[in-house]
């Protein structure tokens, strides 16, 4: 069973129906150049931003396959959320939980994205239901780097200021706050969101989705 959560400014929603397919495209920044008397060469560069596309059903009635955690929501509720994502012009946290039918938890996805565009479709014969095609693009925070001019080998060169900070020792425990998820806690406390399974196992949590504010976790 797959579950897709969207989170922005502490407000988290669960998409009511998991898309039948999710397309992730890895961005490409490589550049092909031509060198005289040699031919084409491909210059490898760091990868570009990932793009994610999927189409989700927003049901107008309570079908048996609808997923919900805080009651049934009409399509308008989700459509307003998408409008807010565009109007806020801020990243959205896209969280994908993957679990097999036997309950086995697979690896999860967690990425900050921006909603590039979306298309809403109503189909004849499906009154009240909406289909929304969503296009997301990975978001990365811009970082400023300070440089200073230093004399080296008789000339001036630009040197990056400061050194890498040493990894901090994780706290022994962590108290869950409103809006937290195990992935974020693992990323913040252990520096790796994929270690959420270790925290879940250490605390006897069978369902990583179900943690509550005030809960004290062993890290």
Model confidence over 59-79: pLDDT tens digits? 999 999 999 988 999 999 999
- When pLDDT is averaged across residues 98-103 and rounded to a whole number, the result is 77
Give the domain-ending residue among 91, 123, 140. 140
Number of domains into which the chain is organized: 2
- pLDDT at residue number 75: 96
Same-domain status, 7 and 95: yes
Same-domain status, 19 and 76: yes
Q: How far is CA 51 from the centre of its chain?
A: 11
Rounded Cα distance, 117 and 139, in Å: 14
- pLDDT at residue number 147: 64
Question: Is 149 a domain residue?
Answer: no
Query: In CATH, what number is assigned to the domain containing residue 87?
Result: 2.40.30.200
Model confidence over 153-207: pLDDT tens digits? 566 665 666 544 444 566 788 999 888 888 889 888 888 888 888 998 999 898 8
- pLDDT at residue number 187: 87
| 9, pLDDT greater than 70 | yes
DSSP 35-70: ETTTEEEEE-------EEEEEEEE-SS--TT---SS
HSE value, Cβ hemisphere, 13 Å, CA-based, for 46: 1
Model confidence over 114-159: pLDDT tens digits? 999 999 999 887 789 999 999 999 998 877 666 666 666 566 665 6
Give the pTM: 0.63
**Domain residue limits at 204:** 167-219
């Amino acid at each position: 069973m797959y579950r897709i959560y969207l989170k922005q400014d502490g407000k988290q929603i669960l998409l009511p129906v998991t898309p039948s397919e999710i397309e992730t495209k890895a961005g490409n920044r490589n550049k092909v150049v031509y060198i005289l008397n040699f031919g084409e060469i491909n210059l490898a560069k760091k990868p570009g931003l990932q793009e994610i596309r999927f189409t989700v059903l927003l049901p107008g009635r309570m079908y048996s396959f609808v997923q919900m955690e805080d009651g049934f929501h009409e399509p308008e509720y989700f459509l307003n959320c998408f409008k807010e994502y565009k109007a806020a012009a801020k990243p959205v946290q896209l969280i994908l939980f993957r679990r097999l039918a036997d309950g086995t938890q697979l690896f999860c996805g967690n990425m900050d994205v921006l909603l590039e565009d979306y298309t809403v479709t109503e189909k004849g014969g499906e009154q009240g239901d909406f289909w929304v095609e969503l296009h997301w693009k990975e978001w990365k925070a811009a970082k400023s780097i300070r440089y200073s001019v230093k004399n080296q080998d008789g000339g001036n060169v630009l040197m990056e200021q400061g050194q890498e900070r040493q990894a901090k020792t994780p706290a022994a425990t962590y108290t869950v706050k409103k809006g937290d998820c195990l992935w974020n806690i693992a990323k913040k406390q252990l520096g790796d969101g994929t270690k959420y399974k270790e925290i879940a196992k250490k605390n006897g949590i069978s369902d990583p989705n179900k943690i509550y504010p005030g809960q004290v976790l062993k890290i």
